[in-house]
Amino acid sequence: MGSLEIKNFGILGHPVGHSLSPQMYEAAFKAAGFPNYNYIPLSIQAGKLFMAVEGIRGLGFRGVNVTIPHKTTISKYLDAIDSDAMVIGAVNTVVNDGGMLTGYNTDVSGFLAALAEANFLPEDCHAVMLGAGGAARAILWGLCKKKAEFITIGARNPQKAQALANDFLPYGHAEGFDWHSDEFKDMLQTADILINTTPLGMFPQVDDMPPIDLKLLPEGALVYDIIYNPIETKLLRTAKELGFPTLDGLSMLLLQGKESYRLYTGEIPDMEIMRKTLEKYLSTK
Ligand code: NAP
């Protein structure tokens, strides 16, 4: 159902030069018959965010994705926030309906859809998460929504891990640990899934990985790294060598993009085109 109408979209962050969203969305727009839908990187410094949001309204952008450092601060400039974004406390997608701006967080549906694609059922599982930053908040909320039995959060800063767990007390059972502690090592032994949400191993530091002894995990535990550049991180390579099933971060990236695209257009994008576009650009980075 294509159209020659002109519509503008963008990604709002600082920096945004590294983002693959422009390539991914434009490929999907073209494939769907929207040759005049433009997706523009919008590099906006923190102090200019209010003006940028008013610019979205004034210029009539249909929508924007939001990335570091604006995911939490943008909320106060929007007219409405959807319930996932409200609980997580971060917005990664803004839709403009005739000047009314609504904030969404599609990381959570991307994460859960990626688990479903991998045939992993989070219900009643023991999940161990590494890291306690922004992506960890969305993932913890996804696990709580799906009624994971217990979520262990391991981080270099145990206070941050426990603060994150405390924020989600009304929704599920989570506890924060120092990832070097013996208590955390004990928790690894009953994990159904290990999820890395830290940037350890991300390009260009591809020889890094979280300081976790994967041999402590029970046989068959899924090792999931949400990093997508590189697609196979050192953590995943090590897990594969030890015989664990693995999941990379590309599907979450694609599936959160699919949900944002649906919010922008009311349609489902061609996922194969989006995947091929991302793989092409990731292999040249
Ligand atoms: P963030 O908010 O900065 O959080 C990063 C977390 O990792 C924090 O807990 C931080 O600890 C920890 N960390 C950072 N550097 C570390 C180090 N050298 N050693 C130990 N811990 C360290 O970042 P984010 O937005 O959550 O993103 C994290 C990763 O997820 C990035 O690689 C990003 O590309 C990826 N991601 C992927 C998707 C996807 O769709 N696949 C979506 C979102 C994010 P401190 O608090 O102590 O600094």
CA-to-CA separations, 197 to 110, 201, 252, in angstroms, rounded: 14, 11, 12
Residue whose tokens read 């008013």:
54
Do 226 and 126 share a structural domain? yes
C-alpha of residue 196 to centroid of ligand 1, in Å:
9
Distance 137 CA to ligand 1 centre (A): 11
Find the helix or strand (DSSP H, E) in which 127 lies.
strand 126-130
pLDDT digits (tens, 9 = 90+) for 225-281: 999 999 999 999 999 999 999 999 999 999 999 999 999 999 999 999 999 999 999
Look at residue 2 in the predicted model and tell me its pLDDT: 79
Same domain, residue pair 160 and 212: yes
Closest CA to 109 of 84, 89, 126, 144: 84
By residue range, what is the domain housing residue 47? 7-106+251-283
Same domain, 131 and 237: yes
Would residue 114 count as lying in a domain? no
Token pair recorded at residue 233:
């991180």
Does residue 111 lie within any of the structural domains?
A: no
User: Residue 201: left (phi > 0), alpha (psi -120 to 50), or beta?
Assistant: left
Are 259 and 234 in the same domain?
no
> Does residue 133 fall inside a structural domain?
yes
19-67 residue pLDDT tens: 999 999 999 999 999 999 999 999 999 899 999 999 999 999 999 999 9
What's 9's DSSP letter? E
pLDDT per residue as tens digits for the range 188-237: 999 999 999 999 999 999 999 999 999 999 999 999 999 999 999 999 99
CA 120 from centre of chain: 17
Rounded Cα distance between 135 and 164, Å, is 12
Nearest-CA residue for ligand 1 atom 34 is: 227
Which of ligand 1's atoms lies nearest the C-alpha of 160?
A: 46
**Would you say residue 154 lies in a domain?**
yes
Q: For the residues 2-31, what does the mean pLDDT come to?
A: 94
Q: How many domains does the chain have?
A: 2
Domain match, 123 and 221 both: yes
Chain centroid to Cα 119, Å, comes to 19
For residue 64, tell me if it sits in a domain.
Answer: yes
Maximum CA extent, the chain:
61
Q: To the nearest whole number, what is the mean pLDDT of the chain? A: 96
Query: Looking at the structure, do residues 57 and 169 belong to the same domain, yes or no?
Result: no
Any residues with Cβ below 6 Å from ligand 1, and which? 107, 110, 131-136, 155-157, 160, 197-200, 202, 226-228, 249, 252-253, 256
Whichever domain contains 40, its CATH number is 3.40.50.10860
The helix (H) or strand (E) run that includes residue 24 is helix 21-31
Residue 164 lies in a domain: yes
pLDDT at 284: 66
Tell how far the Cα of 99 is from the centroid of ligand 1, in angstroms. 33
pLDDT tens-digit profile of 160-180? Answer: 999 999 999 999 999 999 999
Give me the amino acid identity at 131. G
Q: Count CB neighbours of 196 within 10 A.
A: 27
Please check whether residues 151 and 179 belong to one and the same domain: yes
Q: Which residue among 141, 159, 164, 198 has the greatest number of ligand 1 atoms within 8 angstroms of its CB, and so is best to mutate?
A: 198
CA-161 nearest atom, ligand 1: 9
Write the CATH number for 172: 3.40.50.720
For the whole model, what pTM was predicted? 0.95
* Centroid of ligand 1 to alpha carbon of 259 (angstroms): 22
Task: Give 101's strand partners.
Answer: 96
